[in-house]
């Protein structure tokens, strides 16, 4: 076999049963390459939510009757299951939120307003998603702190030397992504943590693009806070999480106030419930948690090392085949340092037009700034085209991408 | 390749994309305005020079997809030399066309933009320069 | 027929096809009387969410491909459908949130921190749910404003004279519930609004127990902000809304920061997207919105006046039959001024024990403080037992409740 | 009426609920502590008087369901006069029983609480007074 054929063979089939994904199963010619934005959902996830609603639906925590107890049990069992998947031992330090964006806003507001003062410093990186950039920027503006961006080294990786320079003693927050959604860059978490620990900062890791793609082993990362979204890891929309070290969570004021999070509500003052309830005001999204637990179960069934290997294989094959398309430049570091993401520009064609032509061939890719305008400025592009892979993709999807890119050049009148 | 896509990317569009008309900064404009599409990051600036109630000159610059660039370029051709009232009428006809309410009264190169109506997501692209032109007129010192 | 038989006849059958509700359909002996906590979901709602995931699932707003456009369309069509159901004309002033609790926290934080200063006054009522009490209390504590509670008149209704006294010129917020979840009291919104308008306050109506039970006609209420939860109106968990007058929303700073809500993200400052996006940071819960729109559709199919009439009939029958149970005292105003809620105490039996015995007869009721501790203090009870009705309940449920209450007395050794 | 419910609300429980033992404020306690169940609003205060390492007296007051009241009442009977070590052992046996790990070594009226193990939601009710007792011991001036 020629080298390309070998690469193709390594990702010839998806690592899941495609029947599990109705949308992909039923639309035969759909090549869904936008999993970094959101993933498709296996039947097991939809089924788990449906069963919950059909068999145990009730408001949890507050009811003395059996159905409500079942709902509570479903909710708390889901928390345990997801904590296990994440590698989080202290289950009650996993707070359910709507997703990564909310989790980061909880930190920037509840922790940030209580702990960051004028003259303090907040450090983020150049490659952050807006969700891990704007909340910190706005916190800094609100309290008069300094907002500092650790820049990139050539090749779309973080400049660790610059990060070290940024981490002055007055640094109160160091926030970074485990994996860049725009480039796929896998950040060296342990080195970042080591640098950040030279300060007394809260070390925040945005795992939105980490936990779906490899074993997150959150406790082992050594960070103070870890955040993620369910919908990017086969789970439903509207659910995600925030994991924070217990001492920090206990010292932190609540983010939202209302039912379930209180202990005593006086006319003048109130006191708060224990973890995790203190940070979960209002009726929880039990069905969402149940669906997310089913997603964790499904991913564990595949094995996260297989997920990682499959994405790496798809990436290798794509990288090889992209050389067939004249004028393509892939952004970011070499494939070994990337998760299953290919972000590229094509000479003389705007990403929006690429996405449009690709769509007409059933190839779904994202075009734009990928919620990373600060990164786009540094890369001196206004937008890129991004293909991102997951467990249900295979070499056919890559082939379709390549053919469609050649068509695009054609269609746009390039020689 | 679908027929609709063929219609979207007609050769006039591709030509205007590659060689946009009136693609320049205007130093002595009566007014100018920026347009931004936060979803895709496309961005355009339009300059207008008025002579009484007539558009004496119009130009644009910016970055964007083929549709937004070609549409802005075609816009400059369509309104240059027109009165304010005529400009408004052209804008209205353009808007009706791209939102699928018919291409009545559309003349010249602008016809090439009719394909946009089949792609609701691209209406924003096509309209970017047009809305900036309207805003530039609003800002213009008479 | 005797009078009781007539009352029974008026609520003999549910006003929905019980097949629509799997959980109720399959558990024949379940008498679910806790809809004020959360409602059961019709198949149409579960089906709508499932179809969305199976046919249109993608991240909306950010994709240039057709599937993403379908997702955007599903999301925005849902917003329109729900706005129509609510009687809200300006669709983009309907912001999706996780539910009532989050909606109120958005107001208390984003609007409150920008507009309420030391020395200002915030007025709530004695019967508020913690969600419409604690966020305002904590805002007052944080900024040094005065937190004032409008008390009840005898009979569990709001004392409008006292409210008028509370509404001094320095009042910046008047927050009240459309219907009390703990007692079922329907508040006279137009009179409250008239009183509140003697100040320049933001007038906030908690519609969590309003919109599920009668035509909310939000625009006609004349309030500045209206909030609600999907899961209490046949919709899924994890979705709800916030409606605010456009001028106020436009002037208000964002609540959370991240993707979708930005226009330009600079290294130092950022600018915001237009409504409704400015207040919807991060990947939205599209499936939740789709499910909620299906719930609105389902309720419109029944007709909100029939919903109201059915609950009134159930309430009348229950009120009549409760006289058969010695030692029962129903709290709150007479049935005509209540929605489908019966909150009561039973001499010498704690609500928790009542709920337990009732549960063993398949009757699900809530016992406790109903997230209304300030109200419980004023009523001088530590807890009550609450039965609450909805479209799927009927006279059988009431009969089961009465029998189970008699059993409870027995079981607890009362003569 | 299920058999499990019969077991939960045994007549001993109902008696203790109606006429709780040691249900009084203690003025000269060595320590006291409050217990609160935020879900249902139940609330209890327990007072302890120590004599060396012995529980010379114990009392409680508060409001709660039959289970929490009877359990607190039975607790006072069980630990009065016991050493600290014995009290801990009784607590552990109680805890094992209500969480369904067996009723080994349980004697006297406390047996009546075994039915709680079938109702996980009520374990908190049954434990309220017990945890407050432990906290009161921790607070006690020796
Ligand atoms: C790295 C990263 N952080 C944050 C987010 C925001 O996640 P969500 O939109 O689910 O809140 C995303 C996805 O959009 C992401 O890729
Ligand atoms: C009147 C009222 N307000 C607010 C809430 C809180 O709603 P949620 O828990 O859905 O946020 C509820 C329900 O629990 C309620 O009944």
Within 10 angstroms of residue B131's Cβ, the number of other Cβ atoms is 17
Model confidence at A91: pLDDT above 90: yes
Residues of C in contact with D119 (CB under 8 A): 356
User: Which ligand has its closest atom nearest to the C-alpha of C256?
Assistant: 1
Q: Kindly report the CATH number assigned to the domain that includes residue B57.
A: 3.90.1010.10
Out of B36, B38, B120, closest to residue C69 by CB: B120
- DSSP H helix total and E strand total for chain A: 16, 17
- H/E run at residue A140: helix A134-143
With contact defined as beta carbons under 8 Å apart, do C312 and C15 qualify?
no
**Model pLDDT for residues A20-38, shown as the tens digit of each residue:** 999 999 888 899 999 999 9
Per residue in C8-66, pLDDT (tens digit) is 999 999 999 999 999 999 888 899 999 999 999 999 999 999 999 999 999 997 667 99
Q: Residue C26 and residue C42: Cα distance in Å, rounded? A: 13
Structure tokens at D127: 């434990």
Q: Residue B84: which domain range?
A: 3-139
- Residue C292 in contact with residue C303, Cβ under 8 Å? no
The CA A312 to ligand 1 mean position distance, Å, reads 21
Question: For residue A60, which of A74, A41, A46 has the smallest C-alpha distance?
Answer: A74
Going along chain A from its start, the domains and CATH numbers come out as 3-32+303-411 (3.90.1150.10), 46-300 (3.40.640.10)
List A289's β-bridge partners, or say none: none
Residue A315, pLDDT score:
98
* C-beta separation of A272 from A263 below 8 A: yes
Q: Closest approach of chain C CAs to the CA of B121, in angstroms?
A: 7
A and D touching (3 or more beta-carbon pairs closer than 8 Å): yes
All residues of chain B having their beta carbon less than 8 Å from the beta carbon of residue C62 are 39
Distance of alpha carbon C353 from alpha carbon C351, whole angstroms: 5
Please tell me the distance from the alpha carbon of residue C84 to that of residue C77, in angstroms, as a whole number: 11
Atom number of ligand 1 nearest to Cα A128: 1
Q: Do A264 and D120 touch (CB under 8 A)?
A: no
User: Which SS3 state, helix, strand or coil, does residue C394 take?
Assistant: coil
Asked whether the bond before D86 is cis by omega within 30 degrees of 0, the reply is no
Q: Are A21 and A41 in contact (CB under 8 A)?
A: yes
Q: A136 near A175, Cβ under 8 Å?
A: yes
| Helices assigned H by DSSP within C303-381 | 304-322, 351-360, 373-379
Cβ-count burial A238-261 (b if 16+ within 10 Å, e if not): bbbbbbbbeeebeebebbbbbbbb
Distance CA C150, CA B46 (A): 56
Q: Do chains B and D touch (3 or more CB pairs under 8 A)?
A: no
CB–CB of D125 and C360 under 8 A? no
**Would the CB of A310 count as within 6 Å of ligand 1?**
no
What is the ipTM, given to two decimal places?
A: 0.94
D-chain residues near A262 (CB < 8 A) = 38
The single-letter DSSP state of residue A132 is G
Q: Which residues of D touch C412 (CB under 8 A)?
A: 9, 14, 17, 66
Cα A387 to averaged position of ligand 2 atoms, centre (Å): 42
Q: Whose CA is nearest to atom 13 of ligand 2?
A: C37
In this prediction, residues A317-341 reach a mean pLDDT of 97
Q: For residue A367, which residues of chain B lie inside 8 Å, CB to CB? A: 40
Catalytic residues of A: 371
- Ligand closest to C208 (CA) is 2
Q: Ligand 2 centroid to C208 CA: how many Å?
A: 6
D121/A64 touch (CB, cutoff 8 Å), yes or no:
yes
Q: Quote the pLDDT of residue C62.
A: 67
Chain A contact set for B4 (CB, 8 A): 360
**Residue where the block lists tokens 């169940």:** D37
Residues of D in contact with C378 (CB under 8 A): none
Q: Which ligand is nearest to the CA of A258?
A: 2
Q: Is the CB of A39 inside a 6 Å radius of any atom of ligand 1?
A: no
Q: Contact, C211 vs C186, CB < 8 A?
A: no
A393 Cβ inside 6 Å of ligand 1: no
Please give the average per-residue pLDDT across A187-216, as a whole number: 98
CA distances to A278, B36, B38, C279 from C273, in Å: 32, 10, 7, 9
Other C-beta atoms within 10 Å of C271: how many? Answer: 12
Q: Return the number of CB contacts < 8 Å for A and C.
A: 282
Tokens of C80: 């329109």
C129 CA from centroid of ligand 2 (Å): 7
Residues having CB closer than 6 A to ligand 2 are: A 259, 282-283; C 99-101, 129, 131-132, 177, 181, 206, 208-209, 229, 371
CB contact under 8 A, D41 and C356: no
Query: Residues 6 or more apart from A258 whose CB is under 8 A from it?
Result: A281, A282, C100, C101, C104, C105, C129, C130, C131, C134, C135, C371
Tell me how far apart the alpha carbons of residues C80 and C92 are, in angstroms, rounded to a whole number: 9
Q: Report the phi/psi class of residue B132: left, alpha or beta, with left for phi > 0 and alpha for psi in -120 to 50.
A: alpha
- Are C95 and C243 within 8 A, CB to CB? yes
Contact A130, A177 (CB under 8 A): no
Ligand 2 centroid vs D65 CA: distance in angstroms? 25
Q: Which residue has the tokens 């009542």?
A: C354
Mean pLDDT, range A306-325, rounded to an integer: 98
D56 CB-near residues (< 8 Å, 6+ apart): D49, D50, D81
**Average pLDDT over every residue of A382-392:** 96
- What is the C-alpha to C-alpha distance for residues C73 and A348, in angstroms, rounded to an integer? 31
Residue C116 has a pLDDT of 98
Band of the pLDDT at C205, cuts 50, 70, 90?
Answer: very high
Closest listed residue to residue B37, CA positions, set A24, C358, A247, C62 = C62
Ligand 2 center from residue A106 Cα (angstroms): 21
Q: Is A62 a residue whose pLDDT tops 70?
A: no
To the nearest whole angstrom, how far is the Cα of C286 from the nearest Cα of chain B?
Answer: 18
pLDDT at A415 over 80: no
- How much of chain C, in percent, has pLDDT values that exceed 70? 100
| D39 to A264: CB separation less than 8 angstroms, yes or no | no
Nearest to A391 by CA among A43, A6, A86, A41: A41
Residue of A nearest to D118 (CA): A66
Closest CA relative to residue C185, chosen from C151, C212, C209: C209
pLDDT at B142: 67
Distance from CA of C380 to the nearest CA of D (A): 12
Tokens for B50? 């008025």
Taking the C-alpha atoms of residue A287 and residue A316, their distance in angstroms, rounded to an integer, is 38
Task: Report the residue from B9, B41, B43 with minimal CB separation from A411.
Answer: B9
Q: Which 3 state secondary structure label does DSSP give A71?
A: helix
Helix and strand counts by DSSP (H, E) for chain D? 5, 3
Strand (E) or helix (H) holding C44: helix C43-51
Using CB atoms within 10 A of its CB, is residue C25 exposed (0-12), middle (13-18) or buried (19+)? middle
Report the number of distinct structural domains present in chain D: 1
Instruction: Report the pLDDT value the prediction gives residue C291, as an integer from 0 to 100.
Output: 98
A228 alpha carbon to ligand 1 midpoint, in Å? 8
B14 and A351 within 8 Å at the Cβ level: the answer is: no
- Judge whether residue C163 has pLDDT over 90: yes
Among C61, C62, C256, C258, which residue has the most ligand 1 atoms within 8 Å of its CB, making it the best to mutate? C258
Query: What mean pLDDT value characterizes chain A?
Result: 97
Closest-CA residue to C362 (of B21, A55, D2, D123): D2
pLDDT of residue A61: 76
For B16-30, the pLDDT digits (tens) are 999 999 999 999 999
Min Cα–Cα distance to chain A from B67, Å: 8
b/e per residue C67-83 (b: at least 16 CB within 10 A): bbbbbbebbbebbebbb
Q: Which atom of ligand 2 is nearest to the CA of C128?
A: 1
Phi, psi at residue A208, to the nearest 5°? -55, -40
3-class DSSP state of D105: coil
Residue D6 structure tokens: 């019969």
- pLDDT class for B1, splitting at 50, 70, 90? low
Question: Is the shortest distance between the CB of A297 and ligand 1 below 6 Å?
Answer: no
D64 at C interface, C-beta within 8 A: yes
Catalytic annotation, pick one of C11, C166, C167, C371: C371
Distances (CA, A) of D82 to C215, C225, C409, D49: 64, 60, 37, 12
Decide if pLDDT at D38 tops 60.
Answer: yes
The answer to whether C149 touches C374, Cβ cutoff 8 Å, is yes
Give tens-digit pLDDT for C323-339: 999 999 999 999 999 99
Atom of ligand 1 at shortest distance to CA of A36?
Answer: 16
CB of A389 closer than 8 Å to CB of A314: yes
Strand ranges of the sheet holding A384-388, from the earlier edge strand across to the other edge: A328-330, A341-346, A384-388, A366-368
pLDDT in tens, C52-77: 999 999 999 766 799 999 999 999 99
The pairing of strands A384-388 and A341-346 is antiparallel
User: Quick one: what percent of chain A has pLDDT higher than 70?
Assistant: 100
* Nearest ligand to the CA atom of C229: 2
Instruction: Provide, as residue numbers in chain A, all residues whose Cβ is less than 8 Å from the Cβ of C141.
Output: 269
Ligand nearest to the CA of C286: 1
- Residue D1 pLDDT > 60, yes or no? no
The distance of A357 to chain B (nearest Cα, Å) reads 7
Provide, rounded to the nearest whole percent, the portion of chain A with pLDDT above 90.
96
Dist CA D85 CA C145 (whole Å): 52
Closest C-alpha among D35, D23, D19, D133 to residue D84: D133
Q: How far is the CA of C130 from the centre of ligand 2 (A)?
A: 8
Q: Select from A69, A264, A273 the Cβ nearest to the Cβ of D121.
A: A69
> Is pLDDT of A253 > 80?
yes
């Amino acid at each position: 076999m020629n080298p390309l054929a070998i690469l193709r063979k390594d990702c010839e089939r998806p690592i899941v049963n495609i029947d599990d994904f109705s949308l992909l199963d039923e639309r035969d010619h759909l090549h869904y390459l936008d999993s970094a934005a959101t993933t498709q959902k296996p039947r097991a996830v939809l089924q788990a939510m449906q069963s919950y609603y059909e068999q145990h639906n009730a408001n949890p925590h507050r009811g003395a009757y059996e159905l409500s107890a079942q709902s509570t049990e479903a909710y708390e069992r889901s928390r345990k299951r997801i904590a296990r998947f994440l590698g989080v031992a202290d289950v009650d330090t996993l707070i359910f939120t709507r997703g990564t964006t909310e989790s980061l806003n909880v930190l920037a507001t509840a922790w940030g307003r209580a702990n960051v003062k004028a003259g303090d410093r907040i450090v983020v990186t150049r490659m952050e998603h807006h969700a891990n950039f704007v909340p910190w920027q706005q916190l800094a503006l609100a309290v008069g702190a300094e907002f500092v961006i650790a820049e990139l080294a050539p090749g779309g990786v973080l400049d660790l030397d610059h990060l070290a320079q940024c981490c002055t003693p007055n640094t109160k927050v160091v926030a970074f992504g485990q994996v860049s959604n725009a480039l796929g860059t896998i950040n060296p978490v342990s080195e970042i943590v080591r640098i950040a620990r030279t300060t007394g900062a809260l070390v925040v890791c945005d795992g939105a693009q980490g936990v779906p793609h490899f074993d997150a082993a959150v406790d082992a990362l050594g960070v103070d806070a870890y955040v993620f979204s369910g919908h990017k890891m086969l789970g439903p929309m509207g659910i995600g999480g925030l994991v924070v070290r217990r001492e920090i969570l206990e010292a932190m004021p609540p983010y939202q106030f209302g039912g379930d999070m209180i202990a005593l509500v006086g006319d003048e003052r109130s006191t708060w419930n224990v973890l995790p309830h203190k940070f979960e005001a209002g009726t929880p999204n039990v069905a969402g948690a149940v669906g997310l637990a089913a997603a964790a179960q499904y991913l564990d069934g595949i094995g996260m090392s297989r997920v990682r290997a499959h994405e790496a294989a798809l990436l290798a094959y794509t990288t090889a085949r992209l050389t067939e398309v004249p004028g393509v430049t892939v952004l970011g570091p070499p494939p070994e340092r990337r998760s299953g993401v290919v972000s590229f520009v094509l000479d003389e064609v705007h990403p929006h037009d690429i996405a449009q032509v690709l769509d007409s061939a059933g190839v779904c890719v994202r075009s734009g700034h990928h919620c990373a305008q600060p990164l786009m400025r540094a890369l001196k592009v206004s937008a890129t085209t991004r293909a991102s892979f997951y467990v249900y993709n295979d070499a056919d999807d890559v082939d379709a991408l390549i053919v469609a890119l050649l068509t695009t050049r054609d269609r746009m009148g390039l020689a | 390749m679908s027929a609709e896509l063929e219609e979207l990317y007609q050769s006039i569009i591709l030509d205007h994309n590659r060689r946009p008309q009136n693609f320049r900064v205007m130093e002595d404009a009566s007014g100018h305005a920026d347009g931004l599409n936060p979803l895709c990051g496309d961005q355009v600036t339009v300059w207008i020079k008025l002579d009484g109630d007539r558009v004496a000159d119009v130009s644009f610059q910016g970055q964007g997809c083929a549709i937004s660039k070609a549409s802005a370029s075609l816009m400059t051709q369509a309104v240059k030399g027109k009165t304010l009232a005529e400009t408004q009428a052209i804008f209205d006809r353009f808007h009706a066309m791209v939102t699928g309410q018919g291409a009545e009264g559309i003349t010249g190169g602008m016809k090439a933009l009719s394909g946009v109506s089949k792609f609701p997501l691209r209406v924003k692209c096509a309209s970017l320069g047009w809305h900036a032109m309207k805003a530039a007129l609003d800002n213009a010192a008479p």
